[in-house]
Amino acid sequence: MEQEFDEHDSDSSSEEIRHTVEVGKELGFDIEVDNPILKEVMGGEDVAGCWDSLEFSWSAVEATGRFGGILSIWDNNVFNVMEVIRSRYYLITVGRWIGIQGLTILANIYVPQAPVGKLKLWNDLINIKNEKHGTWIIFGDFNVARRPKERINSQFCSSSSSAFNRFIAEAGLHDLRMGGHRFTLFCGDDLKLSKLDRYLVCSNFMNQFPIASVTALPRDLSDHCLVLLSTVVSDFGPPPFRFFSSWMLREGFDGVVTSAWINFVGYGTPDMILVVKLRYLKKDIKKMACNQPPTRNG
C-alpha cells in the first residue's frame, strides 16, 4: 500500500522502480509504467501504480541530496485520506481504512543517521501520536537495530538502540515479528547485514489483527529487502505428516505397517489407490504413536 524510496543515486532508484514494475506484473497487477502523475512525482522516473485501476492517490516528500525522498500511494476504494503530515523524515497519512474502526494513521518514515536527528524524530512522532488518536502503523527504514544480534559485521550503537527501544515503549508500540529474511539490509557483497526495516503497530491494531504477519521478501536490485505486512490468514492446507525414526524402534511397529498394507482395500486408478493407501497407513501409525508410550530407546 505504501512504498518508500531511499536509494543512493538516481540510477539505483530507476532500477528499483523497474524491479517494482516486474514484481507487480508477476503478482498479476495491471502496471501502468507511463502514468503521468507518478512520473511527475518522481521527477520523470518511470514509476508504476500497483493497482489494476486508476483509483489511487499519493503524497510525497521530495528528495534532497542523498536522501531519496518518501512516496506513499493508497487505494481510494480502501483508504480515504483526510490529512497529510510531512517533514523531511516522515510522511504521515491520516484517514479511514475500510474494516478498521476510527482513524488509521500510517507513518512512512526514514530515520536519519545522526543520533541527534533520531532523538528529534522519536519526540516528534510521540507528540503527533498523542494528538492523533487511532490505529497507528509506523514503518520504513529506521536506521537503527534494537539489539546486537540484528547486525553482523556492522557497528551496533547501544545508545541509539536504547533510545529506539525507549521510544517504542513510551509510544505503546509493538514490533511485529518478522518472517522471511532475518536481515533487511545487505551491504559490502552481503558481508554486512542489518535489520533496519520493520513495522511498529499500536495496541488497537493488535486487537483488530492479532494474527498479522510481517515478511522480509527476497531482495534483488536494492540493498534493502521489501517488507510485507499482511493481515490475511494464508491457508496452505493441512500440515505435513511428521514421521519420527524412533517410532520404528517401538514394539509392534512392523506389525502395524504390515497389517495396514495388507488389509487395505481400495478402488480407482493405481495412483489414487496408492494415495489413499498411504493415508490409511498414516492413520494407523499415528494411532500407534498416540496410544503406545515410547520406550527408553525411542
Which range is most confident: 57-66, 69-78, 86-95, 230-239? 86-95
Instruction: Note whether 80 and 48 are same-domain residues.
Output: yes
Instruction: Note whether 259 and 221 are same-domain residues.
Output: no
Domain assignment present for residue 235? The answer is: no
Instruction: Note whether 12 and 152 are same-domain residues.
Output: yes
Instruction: Note whether 136 and 200 are same-domain residues.
Output: yes
Average pLDDT for 80-94: 95
Q: How far, CA to CA in Å, does 219 sit from each of 30, 215, 222?
A: 22, 12, 7
Amino acid at 42: M
CATH number of the domain within which 137 lies: 3.60.10.10
pLDDT tens digits, 230-282: 887 666 666 677 777 888 888 888 888 888 888 888 777 787 778 888 888 88
What is the C-alpha end-to-end distance of the chain, expressed in Å?
51
Question: Of 109-123, 142-156, 261-275, which range is least confident?
Answer: 261-275
Instruction: List, in order, residues 6 or more apart from 250 with CB less than 8 Å away.
Output: 288, 289, 292, 294, 295, 298
Closest listed residue to residue 139, CA positions, set 211, 189, 78, 212: 212
Q: Which residues form the domain of 257?
A: 245-291
Q: How many domains, in total, are found in the chain?
A: 2
CA dihedral 143, 148, 149, 155 (to 10 degrees): 60
Instruction: Note whether 6 and 138 are same-domain residues.
Output: yes
Band of pLDDT at residue 91, cut at 50, 70 and 90: very high
Domain assignment present for residue 238? The answer is: no
Band of pLDDT at residue 55, cut at 50, 70 and 90: confident
Instruction: Note whether 192 and 96 are same-domain residues.
Output: yes
Q: CB count, 10 Å around CB of 120?
A: 14
Q: Of the residues 177, 201, 230, which one is the last residue of a structural domain? A: 230
251-257: Cβ within 8 A, 24+ apart: 251/292, 251/295, 252/288, 252/292, 253/288, 256/284, 256/285, 256/288, 257/281, 257/284, 257/285
Instruction: Note whether 221 and 192 are same-domain residues.
Output: yes
Instruction: Note whether 212 and 102 are same-domain residues.
Output: yes
Instruction: Note whether 223 and 256 are same-domain residues.
Output: no
Domain assignment present for residue 237? The answer is: no
Instruction: Note whether 207 and 177 are same-domain residues.
Output: yes
Which pLDDT score, from 0 to 100, does residue 162 have?
96
Which pLDDT score, from 0 to 100, does residue 42 have?
45
Instruction: Note whether 174 and 30 are same-domain residues.
Output: yes
Is the sign of the CA dihedral 165, 138, 222, 41 positive or negative?
negative
- State residue 74 phi and psi, 5-degree precision: -140, 155
Instruction: Note whether 38 and 153 are same-domain residues.
Output: yes
Cβ contact 105:98 at 8 Å: no
Band of pLDDT at residue 166, cut at 50, 70 and 90: very high
Q: Of the residues 180, 205, 230, which one is the last residue of a structural domain? A: 230
Q: CB count, 10 Å around CB of 97?
A: 22
Which pLDDT score, from 0 to 100, does residue 76 have?
86
